[in-house]
Amino acid sequence: MGSCEIVEEKDEEVRLAKVHSGRSSLGRSSSKDSERKQQQREYHGSLEYDIDKLFQSIPVKPPTRRLQLTSSFLETSASAGPSRTTSPSKRSAAMKKPLLGSPRVLGGLSDSLSLKQALRDRCISKASEMAAQKRLSKSAAASPRVSEADRIKSLYNHQSTRLGPADKGKGTLVDETSLTPVNKDIPSTSRSVSQRSEEPSTQGGDYETELDEKVVSTSAEDDVQEEVDKHVTTSLPSDSSKKDNAAELEKKTLSTTLELEQTVKVNDAPEKSKRVTRMIPRPKNHPKKKILVKKKLKIGIVSTKKEEEEETGKLLCQRCHCSLKSTSINNNQPPSYTPEVCSDSLSSVSNNVSQTSEAEIVITKQNVSSSNDSGNKFEFSLSSKDSLGDDYSRSTSMSEESNLSSSSRFSCGNKPHMSMDVRWEAIKHVKVQSSGGSLGLRHFNLLKKLGCGDIGTVYLAELIGTNCLFAIKVMDNEFLARRKKSPRAQAEREILKMLDHPFLPTLYAQFTSDNLSCLVMEYCPGGDLHVLRQKQLGRCFPEPAARFYVAEILLALEYLHMLGIIYRDLKPENILVREDGHIMLTDFDLSLRCAVNPTLLTSSSSPPDPARMSGPYNTSNCIQPFCVNERSCHQVSCFSPRLSSNQQQQQQHLKRSSSSSLHLLPQLVAEPTEARSNSFVGTHEYLAPEIIRGEGHGAAVDWWTFGVLLYELLYGKTPFKGYNNDQTLANVVLESLKFPDTPLVSFQAKDLIRGLLVKEPENRFGSEKGSAEIKRHPFFEGLNWALIRCATPPELPDCYNDYFGQGSPGGNDDRYLECKAIGDHLEFELF
């Protein structure tokens, strides 16, 4: 150690002599002396000096063996220069080289100098790295889009760092997490309920039946709405008096959007001359493809026009009125995808990791401000007026909007989980090539109509010249405004922009062309779970498959709730299957945005609730998720090796202590459990009792629908279905839950369903602690939550290669659409 320091002292001298005054060896005039002293003084205050000191302070005691190994090198290096081996100190310095693992310095002129140089390089690169990170975090802080992900990350971090009693309660965390959009949840008069058609439906929108239950807003409501819209879209950015960071976030987001739109408007001036030529739809040689499956449809506004269209050939999209023209398509190569890494080995990693990390994320009861007044305003803005949508279209309909990747400083549109996706680059590339610098429908070949929803039609589209496929949701702004559905479209758009999760859609771009609002999303070639279920043996999923799908859904719902989004429309039709077999939850037009104040609960404030563990699993020793021997499992552990009573005691003790240690962890509560809405929204068979009773509902409706979903996936039907919709609704409220004898379903699954389908929302499983409560249910025992995205999904039937098989763009099939630009006119028509 001492010798090291001495070496460094000498090195310092040597380097000073070399660096600062190679000339000094030539003469020793007094002026040069003072110059040298000056340089020494400078050196002592410099970074180099710091580095040298740092270097000196490294305690290096090379092992003897290493000495022997390096001795030959020392001999070699000794011959490299006379001064190198003249002192033991220099030898000591030379011995450090291999320890620092810098082969570059071996045999160099001065080992210690080289060593220091390496250290300096490291320091400098570290420093520049830190500076870059600082810059990035500064800019990120300035970017409103970053905050959602960051907020959640900080919440996750917080729970592990804040353990002291001083941190108990919401105080600090509320501040930190108040970046959540605070939109008040309000009772609403809107009714939008889906129903499952009793008739076989056709692909597209013609299966839709709209049973109008929507209350049209009065002129007074219009006034209120105008005020609300003004508040939301105009006054927010200038309202500096808002205390809430969430409001700030909203402001920033809105103002950014507006700025963007304005910018694009200017840039897109030539685009204004482009028009969509809407061709009258006509039947072609393509017979309408009947899907012999029932669809759950939303009840919306009575559409007389739609009914007429249904009678006259059903070729015009009943929702957005897009008419499309069938033309030939480019014979491009099938798209190349970059699916997520799917690794079996990863899934075999110990569950402890995920259990520890996931157990810490406990979701729960919130203080959510939900005063009626403010609430009303928000609900209006979301669901009963078109002025918000009008505002939106006013600002965008004249021009195309920028795509998301350009609106963000990150090329991936600030969606880290998809940052490696080539589609971001493809969009960026096309945008750069484009004359106006913006993306539009003209850049896509529309290949196929994927489906028609309440507010728009979804097409499979290829970004021209990129081999990249997208799903584009096209919505007619005029139609939406006329049908008072603009707020729903707006809500969906806003929510899509927020999302960054493997089981939720990625929004790549959005733009408006000739009053058509377009959302460019990730395409899921696997169809939806409703159709997939029909293809299963017995029309229901095997339990492991159901477990896999609902587990992914649970994670998606957890994420949404943390963002203050109550999904409200869970059903198999809205669960799409990606190419890799994982799922994607779509369709957010009925979702409710509300306040959520994530709170950190300490162990004392969140003891395990035995009442909620009242199902059979609580008294059972069985830990096998797919055990079907319900009765015997009350007594003995099935499928497990028989254990002696001693071993059983040990095992139970282990289970108890691990579960109690989980409960000792602070729990992050981020469930909007107290949000309230009176909207009548959802799908008949999936409607929660509190919605039907009109009592007002909150996040617990998602756990009800989650229970119905699991039931349907396992049994092939929903639990309360009646012979008509009224009967179904009555059953939901009055009938008790029954399980069919077949197929055989594990008692854990039934127990979970039982807990979820509790009629009183306050007693419902998940209503208090949200997803974390559900994740701990034995039905999911052994599931590695953290790595489920890497787990192998259930196998898909062969027919699921539909598009990539015979119908791929590279084939000779002519059943695709093309969005065709003719001069300044953009034509597309239904095929």
Say how many C-beta atoms besides its own lie within 10 A of residue 559's C-beta. 21
Q: Is 682 in the site for ligand ATP (CB under 6 A)?
A: no
Bridge partner residues of 507 (DSSP): 521
| Contact status: 622 vs ligand ATP (CB under 6 A) | no
Q: Does 586 bind ligand ATP (CB under 6 A)?
A: yes
Binder to ligand ATP among 441, 447, 471, 623 (CB under 6 A)?
A: 471
Site membership for ligand ATP, residue 522 (CB under 6 A) = yes
Peptide bond into 743 cis (omega under 30): yes
**Contact pick of 146, 418, 450, 554 for ligand ATP (by CB under 6 A):** 450
Instruction: Tell me the pairing of strands 191-196 and 296-299.
Output: antiparallel
Check residue 576 for interaction with ligand ATP (CB under 6 A): yes
Q: Which amino acid is at 280?
A: I
Range list of β-strands (E), 292-344? 296-299
Site string for ligand ATP, 410-449 (x = CB under 6 A): ----------------------------------------
> Which CB atom, from 194 or from 381, has the smaller least distance to ligand ATP?
194
If phi over 0 gives left and psi between -120 and 50 gives alpha, with beta otherwise, what is residue 169?
Answer: left
| Closer residue to ligand ATP in complex, CB, 514/587 | 587
Distance in angstroms (rounded) separating the CA atoms of residues 133 and 19: 32
Indicate the residue type of 121.
D
Which amino acid is residue 133, in one-letter code? Q
Catalytic residue among 111, 476, 569, 587: 569
The helix/strand/coil state of 440 is coil
Chain centroid to CA 259: how far? 25
Q: Which stretch binds ligand ATP (CB under 6 A): 172-180, 359-367, 584-592, 691-699?
A: 584-592
**Side chain identity at residue 448, one-letter code:** K
- Residues 50-89: x where in contact with ligand ATP by CB under 6 A, - otherwise, as a string: ----------------------------------------
Q: What is the DSSP letter of 793?
A: P
451 binds ligand ATP per the rule CB under 6 A: yes
638's CB contacts (< 8 A; 6+ apart) are 622, 624, 627, 629, 632
Instruction: Please state, in angstroms and rounded to a whole number, the distance separating the CA atoms of residues 353 and 346.
Output: 12
Least Cβ distance, residue 570 to ligand ATP (angstroms)? 11
> What are the CA-CA distances from residue 791 to residues 461, 524, 572, 782 (Å)?
29, 18, 21, 13
Give me the least distance between CB of 495 and ligand ATP, in Å please. 12
Q: Is 386 a catalytic residue?
A: no
Write the DSSP symbol of residue 780. Answer: G
CB contact at 8 A, 392 and 260:
no
Restricted to residues 296-335, the positions that interact with ligand ATP (CB under 6 A) are 298
Query: Judged by CB under 6 A, which of 95, 182, 329, 521 binds ligand ATP?
Result: 521
Q: Decide if residue 523 touches ligand ATP (CB under 6 A).
A: yes
Q: Which is nearer to ligand ATP, 329 or 458 (CB)?
A: 458
484 binds ligand ATP (CB under 6 A): no
Tokens 């002026």 sit at which residue? 31
> β-strand 507-513 against 457-463: which pairing, if any?
unpaired
Q: Which part of the chain contacts ligand ATP (CB under 6 A), choosing from 28-36, 89-97, 555-563, 586-594? A: 586-594
Residue 751 engages ligand ATP in binding (rule: CB under 6 A): no
Q: Does 587 bind ligand ATP (CB under 6 A)?
A: yes
Q: How far apart are CA 580 and CA 577, in angstroms?
A: 8
Selected range binding ligand ATP among 1-9, 515-523, 638-646, 795-803, rule: CB under 6 A: 515-523
Nearer to ligand ATP, 222 or 802 (CB): 802
Among 301, 455, 556, 563, binds ligand ATP (CB under 6 A): 455
**Residue 108 or residue 456: which is nearer to ligand ATP going by CB?**
456
Between vectors from CA 296 to CA 294 and to CA 301, what angle results, nearest 5°?
125
Scanning 1-9, 309-317, 372-380, 516-524 for contacts with ligand ATP by CB under 6 A, the matching segment is 516-524
Rg of the chain, C-alpha, whole Å: 32
**Smaller CB separation from ligand ATP, 440 or 572:** 572
CA–CA separation, 314 vs 735, rounded Å? 38
**Residues assigned a catalytic role:** 569
| Residues at the contact surface with ligand ATP, assessed by CB under 6 A | 298, 450-456, 458, 471, 473, 505, 521-524, 528, 573-574, 576, 586-587, 589
